[in-house]
Amino acid sequence: MFAQITPTPTWYLLLAAVLFATGAVGVLVRRNPLVMFMCIELMLNAVNLSFVAMAKALGDIGGQTTVFFVLVVAAAEVVVGLGIIVSILRKRPNANADDLAELKG
């Protein structure tokens, strides 16, 4: 009836490229720190998807192991980064990335 399409690593890499490009455009265009943070996380997940796709294609578990450690570090980064951004946005609701650049000191 219908031909079943088996996804190949090329499909996953193409999806990862689209996700990464979407995240990169979001970081470059948007000035809201929360949206920029979410776009960076999208880019990180796109790279993780490409690691898993290549690990599957090459039959090596090294890429999947790397993704595991990247996800652990990303979870810690989300907790700290999101906490900082939310606390800043509570004090100054209309803060943008240019305002946050003044915090460098």
The string of pLDDT tens digits covering residues 54-80 is: 999 999 999 999 999 999 999 999 999
Are residues 47 and 71 in contact, defined by beta-carbon separation less than 8 angstroms? Answer: no
Are residues 23 and 43 in contact, defined by beta-carbon separation less than 8 angstroms? Answer: yes
Please list, in sequence order, all residues whose beta carbon lies within 8 angstroms of the beta carbon of residue 99, skipping any fewer than 6 positions away: 92
Say how far residue 75 (Cα) sits from the centre of its chain: 11
Give the separation between CA 55 and CA 45, rounded to whole angstroms: 15
Mean pLDDT within 11-32: 96
pLDDT at 104: 73
Q: Which domains does the chain have, with CATH numbers?
A: 9-104 (1.10.287.3510)
Q: Bigger pLDDT: 3 or 69?
A: 69
Tokens of 14: 């193409």
Are residues 81 and 44 in contact, defined by beta-carbon separation less than 8 angstroms? Answer: no
pTM value is: 0.85
Question: If pLDDT is split at 50, 70 and 90, which confidence band does 94 have?
Answer: confident
Tokens of 102: 């003044």
> Could you tell me what percentage of the chain is helix, strand and coil, using 3-state DSSP and rounding each to the nearest 5?
80, 0, 20
Are residues 31 and 25 in contact, defined by beta-carbon separation less than 8 angstroms? Answer: no
The string of pLDDT tens digits covering residues 31-61 is: 899 999 999 999 999 999 999 999 999 999 9
